[in-house]
Copies of this chain bind each other. A is one copy, B any other.
Amino acid sequence: MAEDQGISETGHEARPEQTLGEIGLWQFAPYLMNRIMGRYNANLQTAVRPQNLTTAKMRTLAVLAVVPGLTINELSVYAVIEQSTMSRTLEAMERSGLIRRETRESDARVREIYLTDAGQSEFDAVWPIMYARYRELFTGIDDAERTAFVGTLQKVLRNVRLHDL
């Protein structure tokens, strides 16, 4: 129908495909996000190295500190760490007494992962470093802008994850 022309099913205006040159690298969100996270993750890895933490271990501590009882699959998705790396990381953390695994009451096949008190202390020690880096990202950006930005990130994550957790 004529009145539908110009709007696609997804709510985008229909328009010819743009080239990357037309959009411009500095306007291309995936480029900006890869640049930001590449630098942020590298900075953070350097900052936590004196505490003998890898990126995988640090993220595992952080995720379990706020979402206790995850399975290894869920933890792998939330921490954005491959399953094989996550499996090795958890074994090392269990040996160091930072996490424990419990059988889920409602389903004996499922193992839930929790921080121990030592794991919680380890996270409490590293959090100020993570928080300082987080604040640095938003230097000169006020609360309203940060809130709007986070709202868009949430929509983008819903768009990209599809059937993911």
Query: Which residues of A pack against B, CB within 8 Å?
Result: 10-13, 17-21, 24-41, 43, 62-63, 65-67, 77-78, 80, 127-128, 130-131, 133-143, 145-146, 148-150, 152-157, 159-161, 164
Contacts and interface: CB of A to CB of B under 8 A. Distances in A.
B66 A30 contact: no
Contact of A80 (B38, B43, B131, B152): B38
Task: Tell me the number of copies of this protein.
Answer: 2
State the main secondary structure of chain A at its contact with B: helix
A30 B80 CA distance: 12
A152 B141 contact: yes
Nearest to A155: B141
Contacts of A20: 62, 65-66, 127, 130-131
